[in-house]
Amino acid sequence: EDVVEAQEAVDHFKGEPMRHPALIRRADKPFNGETPPSLLTEKFHTPNDVFYVRNHLPVPQVDAKTYRLEIDGINLTETTFSLQDIKKFPKVSISATIQCGGNRRTEMGKDKVVAGLGWTGGAIGNAKWTGARLVDVLRSAGFKPEAYKHAKQLHVKFDGLDTDQSGECYGASVPLSYLLDGNFDAILAYEMNDKPIPIDHGFPVRIVLPGIVGARSVKWLSRVSISEEESQSPWQQRDYKVFSPSVSLETVDFSAAPPIMDTPVTSYICSHNNGDKVKKGPVKLQGYAFSGGGRGIVRVEISLDKGKTWNVARISDTANLESTKNWSWVLWEANVNIQANAEIWVKAVDSGYNQQPEDFNNIWNYRGLLSTAYHKIYLEAR
């Protein structure tokens, strides 16, 4: 208990930035806040100040002038880059959705409790990310994709400047194979929606790994390394893995599942909440749909009769800029005619024709991750 008191005496969170009052707080230290879902459909690119914030550790204070990024590892020459160095590489923009692995967790936890922050459907956002291509910067440190062709088991590790009280930093990694895919747009981003990246989102530089669960897009990036091992951080090794419904925290074998990378197809109704009262007659539903791995959304479907019949929703355009893959969500809308109390179901189909599961029972996992079943809300007609 002496230790606890000593820790409390130093407030590791005293330098935290201001947050927009619209963000719904899910935790204070570290700060975690989600966007009210109704705001998400207002703009294709979520505004910076209401973009959901997922911090695992205190926000670090970083001086752009002294900031340095280190690159090292297998087949690379150890090289250090200032922010100005990074800005000298060709400036590239992608439109990409970042989603927390726990988005929509509260739905999975309704029937059987799950551990984790109580996100509804707002732990997701879509932004324009601008910066240097990771592969361009790596090439200047000697990276040659051909040199790794048969290296099945290599990883690209990312370290953040945010640290825990023992000095361990936030960390994540992805299989090196991602960087061997010429369609993958990993960006060392220094702008978010045409502004310098806000402090909460990784100022001055974060890695943006599109199509991959948000936890790998490390903020306040300090180091990129090609390694024979994955990041050994708890977020890589334990927290962002999905186990069988039969597994509990007591029985889990962490090595039995891979860390989450590409996320599965999901969809959400943002315009209405479960239990809302609506006037009888036409109702306009709005929401988002997203799939990881650069898979686009082929269609979004709505059912008012628990799946007996489905109608296809209208999809807004996606703005993919230079990408060959679909890194962004789609926003959708559907006009329905409500004449009596109704349960509304939404589901999406991605370009790999992946479908969402119908409910949460069979995908339940004790951490409440990848909670991607149909979104179902009940509307009361008045």
Q: What span, in angstroms and rounded, lies between the C-alpha atoms of 116 and 234?
A: 14
Q: Measured from the CB of residue 360, what is the shortest distance to a copy of itself in angstroms?
A: 11
Q: Of 12-20, 78-86, 112-120, 207-215, which part binds Mo ion (CB under 5 A)? A: 207-215
Please identify which residue in 109, 125, 214, 296 interacts with Mo ion, judged by CB under 5 A: 214
Tell me if residue 245 falls in helix, strand or coil.
coil
Q: Of 95-103, 138-146, 252-260, 332-340, which part binds Mo ion (CB under 5 A)? A: 95-103
Please choose, from the candidates 331, 301, 295, 328, the residue with its C-alpha nearest in 3D space to the C-alpha of residue 316: 331
Contact 227, 171 (CB under 8 A): no
Work out the angle at residue 274's Cα, subtended by the Cα atoms of residues 268 and 280, and round it to the nearest 5 degrees: 105
Q: Measured from the CB of residue 147, what is the shortest distance to a copy of itself in angstroms?
A: 11
Q: Is 13 left (phi over 0), alpha (psi -120 to 50) or beta?
A: alpha
Q: What span, in angstroms and rounded, lies between the C-alpha atoms of 365 and 382?
A: 37
Q: 101 vs 296, which CB is nearer to Mo ion?
A: 101
Please choose, from the candidates 87, 95, 215, 81, the residue with its C-alpha nearest in 3D space to the C-alpha of residue 138: 81
| Residue 215 near Mo ion by CB under 5 A | yes
Q: 260 vs 338, which CB is nearer to a copy of itself?
A: 260
Give the side-chain half-sphere CA count within 13 A for 287. 27
- Name which of Mo ion, a copy of itself, none residue 273 binds, using a CB cut-off of 5 to 8 Å depending on partner kind: none
φ/ψ (deg, to 5) at 39: -80, -25
Q: Measured from the CB of residue 32, what is the shortest distance to Mo ion in angstroms?
A: 9
Q: What's 315's DSSP letter?
A: E
Q: What span, in angstroms and rounded, lies between the C-alpha atoms of 132 and 167?
A: 29
| Residue 98 near Mo ion by CB under 5 A | no
- Name which of Mo ion, a copy of itself, none residue 321 binds, using a CB cut-off of 5 to 8 Å depending on partner kind: none
- Name which of Mo ion, a copy of itself, none residue 244 binds, using a CB cut-off of 5 to 8 Å depending on partner kind: a copy of itself
Binding site for a copy of itself (CB under 8 A): 145, 149-150, 152, 175, 177, 180-183, 242, 244-246, 256-258, 260-265, 292-293, 298-299, 301, 303, 307, 309-312, 320, 322-325, 347, 349, 351-359, 361-363, 370, 372
- Name which of Mo ion, a copy of itself, none residue 30 binds, using a CB cut-off of 5 to 8 Å depending on partner kind: none
Q: Measured from the CB of residue 46, what is the shortest distance to Mo ion in angstroms?
A: 16
Please choose, from the candidates 214, 102, 96, the residue with its C-alpha nearest in 3D space to the C-alpha of residue 160: 214
Contact 127, 51 (CB under 8 A): yes
Q: 101 vs 264, which CB is nearer to Mo ion?
A: 101
Q: What's 200's DSSP letter?
A: G
- Name which of a copy of itself, Mo ion, none residue 301 binds, using a CB cut-off of 5 to 8 Å depending on partner kind: a copy of itself
Q: 82 vs 320, which CB is nearer to a copy of itself?
A: 320
List residues binding Mo ion (CB under 5 A). Answer: 54, 100-101, 214-215
